[in-house]
Amino acid sequence: MNTSSKPRVLVLGAGFGGLELTSLLSETFGDGIDVTLIDKSDAFVFGFSKLDVMFGHRTADAVRLPY
């Protein structure tokens, strides 16, 4: 059983909203909160970067930002 008195927050989804929320929680509460971010992917891909991949300007690996 967890005896920590710190609040624990679970954020599902690491899109713009999930990343922004976890950043704000960490900045606001620092070590006073445990934040966990879960996403189905291990990296973030900005939406418009997908066009660069589609048209052959960049590779898929080049536009992935690992978490």
pTM over cut 0.85 = no
For the segment 11-55, what is each residue's pLDDT rounded down to a tens digit? Answer: 999 989 999 999 999 999 999 999 999 999 999 888 899 999 999
**CA–CA separation, 63 and 40 (whole Å):** 17
Extents of the domains making up the chain: 8-66
Cα dihedral 38/47/30/24 (nearest 10):
-120
**CA–CA separation, 57 and 67 (whole Å):** 23
The confidence score (pLDDT) of residue 1 equals: 55
